[in-house]
Amino acid sequence: MKRLSDIKFSTLDLVPVRENGSAAQSLRNSLDLAQHVEKFGYNRFWVAEHHNMDGIASSATSVLLGYLAGGTSTIRVGSGGVMLPNHAPLVIAEQFGTLESLYPGRIDLGLGRAPGSDQMTARALRRERSGSADDFPDDVAELVRYLGPRTPDQRIIAMPGTGTNVPVWLLGSSLFSAQLAGERGLPYAFASHFAPRFMHEAIRVYRNHFKPSAELDKPYVMLGVPLVAADTNEQAEYLATSVYQRILALMRGQSLVQRPPVKTMDGLWLPHEKEAVGDFLGLAMVGSPQKIRAKLEVLIEQTQADELIFTCDLYEHADRVHSYELLAQVMKG
């Protein structure tokens, strides 16, 4: 049985944009956070591809990763993830091959099959390309080939990219990617930070379908976990109201810019909305270090996960940094 101190821990940054803030400041905050969590002992720092969202500044994912890798020295940086239906596999192979060539041994390529946006935005991204989630298995295979060793009969190469063997992860919030990751022998990250409902079943499907590969000899599971750590439970609950407002806005189709915390959510949401936000954040770790440690120990006991990746969307950047610092102390025991 795994103990908390055996588990690797990482950061997923959604590069949040706050009320009256700017994308430029959010991007600088992302680098500052990466530099801090590197010192705190985190394993990797991932950012996700989202489009047409005024509260998230990580749309040009590979460009941002170059900025983050260039400003850090040891932590792994990667995509959590690139939404592959939006892109030709060759383009992503070239982008991540370039990153791996510049920052060898530090780049991860996490892949998702959702658009990371609405359908209208997906069409604007793709134009004439007939990208589709249905193509995902073939696109993954093509991309892996571009990053692997060049074969004698290979007519199209990714340069840079060929021979870099950038680690490819499959990400998902349903069972499709879990099965595909298992069959391909790839590491798997489940999006339990917003879709915890299918977590246990997805882990089971992935492990049951796993076939050893050149990349991986046994299953490797990473779980997304929302985080709001503070010195006291009361302070954490107060800070978490920024997260609740953001999820509520997402569900209502409103602006996703970060809003400051409030003393109470009463009057801001209806009972069914409160329940829906609670389901969305079902795996959230909100509280003092002691409370979070107890909840994490239960999570590890139930899932036997290999790694946890935490996302922390707090209004004040200093509160985010402190939250990750407290978590590092918890994880190290």
Q: Tell which residue, 187, 193, 153, has the closest CA to residue 173.
A: 193
Domain segments of the chain as ranges: 4-228+289-331
The CA distance from 19 to 42, in Å, is 28
Sign of CA dihedral 66, 195, 43, 322: positive
Reported pTM: 0.94
Write the burial class of residue 45 (CB in 10 Å: 0-12 exposed, 13-18 middle, 19+ buried): buried
Q: Is the Cβ–Cβ distance between 189 and 109 less than 8 Å?
A: no
Q: Is the Cβ–Cβ distance between 53 and 121 less than 8 Å?
A: no
The CA distance from 68 to 82, in Å, is 16
88-101: per-residue pLDDT in tens? Answer: 999 999 999 999 99
The rounded percent of the chain whose pLDDT value lies above 90 is: 86
Q: Is the Cβ–Cβ distance between 226 and 285 less than 8 Å?
A: yes
* Dihedral, 226, 250, 131, 48 alpha carbons, nearest 10: -30
> Is residue 1's pLDDT more than 90?
no
- Sorted by sequence, the CB contacts under 8 Å of residue 16 that are 6+ apart come out as 26, 55, 56, 57, 246, 258, 313
Q: Where residue 209 falls among pLDDT bands split at 50, 70, 90?
A: very high
Residue with tokens 């690139």: 82
Residue with tokens 């046994």: 218
The domain over range 4-228+289-331 is classified in CATH as 3.40.50.11400: no
> Is residue 132's pLDDT more than 90?
no
- Sorted by sequence, the CB contacts under 8 Å of residue 20 that are 6+ apart come out as none
268-311: per-residue pLDDT in tens? Answer: 999 999 999 999 999 999 999 999 999 999 999 999 999 999 99
147-200: per-residue pLDDT in tens? Answer: 999 999 999 999 999 999 999 999 999 899 999 999 999 999 999 998 889 999
The CA distance from 293 to 329, in Å, is 10
